Amino acid sequence: MAVFPSEFADLDIFADWALPTERARMTKRVSASWPTLVSAYDALAPRMDAALAYLSKRPAFGLGRADEDLMLLTLSFAEIAFAVENYRAPDSPYAVSPKLMTVVNEPIEAQLPWTNRP
Partner 1 sequence: MSKPPLGIDAPPPQANTGMRWTQRHPELGQEPAPTAGYLDPDQFSREMDLIYRRTWLNVGRVEQAPEPGNFFTFRIPTFDIPIIVVHGKDGVIRAFYNVCSHRQFPVTLEASGKTNVFTCRLHSWSYDTSGNLVRAVDEHRFCNLDKAKLGLTPIACEVWNGFICVNLDPTPATSLAEHMAAATPYTEDFPFDEFSLAATYAVRDLAHWRVVMAAQMETWHVPHLHRGTIARGFQPGENFAATVEPKSMKLLGEHRVLGAPGPEARAEPLPTEALAAKYGPPSQLSQIGDAAATGGARRYKWGREFGEVGIFVYFPNWHTTLFSDSYMLFRYWPVSPTETLWEGQVYARPYMPSNAAELFALTYGGIAGRDTFREDAGAHPMIQRNMQTQAKSHVHYHDLELALRHLDHVVKQRTAPDKG
Binding site for partner 1 (CB under 8 A): 22, 26, 45, 48-49, 52-53, 55-60, 63, 67, 71, 74-75, 77-79, 81-82, 85-87, 92, 94-97, 100-108
Q: Is 65 exposed, middle or buried (0-12, 13-18, 19+ CB in 10 A)?
A: middle
| CA–CA distance, 77 with 37 (Å, rounded to integer) | 10
Nearer to partner 1 by Cβ, of 6 and 57: the residue is 57
Shortest Å distance, C-beta 101 to partner 1: 5
**Cα–Cα distance between 15 and 34 in angstroms, integer?**
19
Q: How far is the CB of 118 from partner 1 (least distance, A)?
A: 21
